[in-house]
Chain A
Amino acid sequence: MASNKTPLISVRNLSLRFGAFLALHDVSVDFHDGELVGLVGDNGAGKTTLINVICGIHRPTHGAVFFEGREITHFHPKLAIELGIETIQQSVGLCENLSVARNFYLGSEPVKRFLGIPFLDFAKMRADSGEVIRDFGLRSNVNVDDAVGLLSGGERQSIKIGRSVALKNRVVIMDEPTNHLSVREREHVNMLAKQLRDQGLLVIFITHDIFQVHRLADRIVIMENGRKVADVTKTEMTADQLEAVIRDGGHGAGAGAAR
């Protein structure tokens, strides 16, 4: 493992408080490029909250986040996207009232200038989003001009994932990416995650299915009650041992292996 290299993303002693609720408690974790990391934990363990700090939605109460060794001082999704951090979230990411094409580049639309005024480049928006619809084998009657509200959960997920692959990124974070997906679609997503890793990207894969992610990931980070309770390469522990860690809330048999 490339642990002697500067990590792409380094989270140091991160705490996040929502009023009286401590959502993250002193979390430190490093992520390197070319790595596929599984972030695992029960519902409410703090996985999504940690990701929301990295992708700029939440500002940490204490601690710091470094990107390529530089400390992040301003937290906004726009800045994270500019650094090449693409996040596929469960509940957000697509506006139902807008077409697939309009959603595809939302926030960083391609433009053609006329008299200095930036006009949306509809041809590019349609072509690029249409490619994703074909690649992911969506129903043939799904059109790039259809409102996202008309699509099924799986189709929406496919578009979010396809978009993250199509845009040039350095980090792709997938929050429960295979929910709502059929078996075939799930295999496709797993394959894409590996492909992105092989292209040298950092891929963070959030799930609560330890068996799925143990097959897929190079390294597994387990969270529980806002703390990191394990951080192991997959050769260090079996999926069954890791499951025991989760079941025991981080205090069980395998916790000794936590770094």
Chain B
Amino acid sequence: MSVTQFVFFRIGGSRPSPAVGIVALTALLVVAFGVQTAGVWLSKDNMTSVLQATATLGIMALGEALVITAREIDISVGSVFGIGSLVYLGFAPIAGPLAAFAGAIFAGAAIGALNGLLVTRFKVSALIATLGTLFIFRGICYALTEGFSFEAGDALMTSRVYTVFGGGEILGVKNSLLWLVLAAFALHVVMFGTPFGNWLLAVGGDEQSALSRGVRTKAVKLVAFVLSGALAAFAGVLEASKIGFADGSFGRLQELQAIAACVIGGCALTGGRCSIVGVVFATFMLMGIQSFLVLNGVEPQWFMILLGVMIVVAMVTDRAIHRWILLR
């Protein structure tokens, strides 16, 4: 396989990748934000915080992208993020850092499996099933912490696990950014270069046709949910290592940002179309906008309003652009 083939996997047609638009828009915003804030937005300190926020949200959004590609949705990821961080911090003093890390990922994967089974076996709509688990595990987060927060003790903070998974820095940025790059690379290759990716895209595009060709559609969806849960918990671990503690509201409302990153990044909510690169850039753009608003002294609620507007605009323009490409 040549290098170009490896990078530019084609899923259908010679039309431009859905990532092109978001990459261009991001470049535009970087210049605009840099100019408007007289370089403050582009300063090392600000970029560090934007990139760190991008890393954890991005990993969560990538898991979400897998589920959306399969034409389902997972709105429980915000709570799974919280569970991941609490299991990690809570178990580290008892079981040691490595076992706590493994336990956190396992807990995320198990919640993902529960979501997946509710959807594939019990035929609950994904929106309802994951709304249920969103509340259940947020409630458990609050119950576990009882208004306090879990903190990383000295033993954990000096451990290698802590350093490797989000505690350490590379060039002044927490290494969770490296984990985002690795996860994005791996998922891009899996999505566009392996049979599993082909099944995922097929299931999202036309489930009955995929089934008729012998694709185990339920298993494919289940795996997507499990990966989504595991990645959300992983993001929670990285975030906990970044700031050294976690409370019951950890990751609250982040599910909406993750879904927004997918939609803006070029994943069709109707399934079957996905851009891993686009999701990463969209996450960076969202976090960049948030920081831009903060720098300008705008109240945080405006970010939520803007987020909602962007989702709607992305959905509308996406459909129009897609139609234009098809009819060209």
Contacts and interface: CB of A to CB of B under 8 A. Distances in A.
B206 A96 contact: yes
24 contacts: A57-B212, A76-B216, A77-B211, A78-B215, A92-B208, A95-B205, A97-B12, A97-B202, A97-B206, A98-B198, A98-B201, A98-B205, A99-B11, A106-B209, A106-B210, A106-B215, A107-B213, A107-B215, A111-B194, A118-B194, A145-B12, A145-B14, A147-B11, A150-B13
B12 A77 contact: no
A137 interface: no
Given A107-B214, A147-B13, 11 more contacts: A76-B214, A81-B213, A81-B214, A92-B212, A97-B11, A99-B13, A106-B198, A108-B213, A109-B198, A122-B5, A148-B12
B206 A119 contact: no
Contacts of A122: 1, 5
Interface in B209-227: 209-216
A22 B199 CA distance: 33
Interface string A66-99: 0000000000111011100001010111111111
Interface in A188-233: none
Q: Which 7 A-B pairs have the closest CB atoms?
A: A147-B12, A97-B205, A107-B213, A78-B214, A107-B214, A97-B272, A95-B205
A55 B212 CA distance: 8
B206 A95 contact: yes
A92 B206 contact: yes
B326 interface: yes
B195 interface: yes
Interface in A89-128: 89, 91-99, 102, 106-109, 111-112, 117-120, 122
A95 B209 contact: yes
A49 interface: no
B319 interface: no
A225 B1 CA distance: 53
Contact of A92 (B5, B195, B209): B209
Nearest to A81: B214
A146 interface: yes
Contacts of B103: none
A55 B213 CA distance: 10
Interface of B: 1, 5, 10-14, 193-195, 197-199, 201-202, 204-206, 208-216, 272-273, 326
A93 B12 contact: no
A55 B208 CA distance: 13
Given A118-B195, A122-B5, A95 B13 contact: no
Contact of A87 (B5, B195, B208, B212): B212
A149 B199 CA distance: 17
A238 interface: no
A143 interface: yes
A94 B12 CA distance: 12
B147 to A, nearest CB: 46
Nearest to A94: B209
Nearest to A122: B5
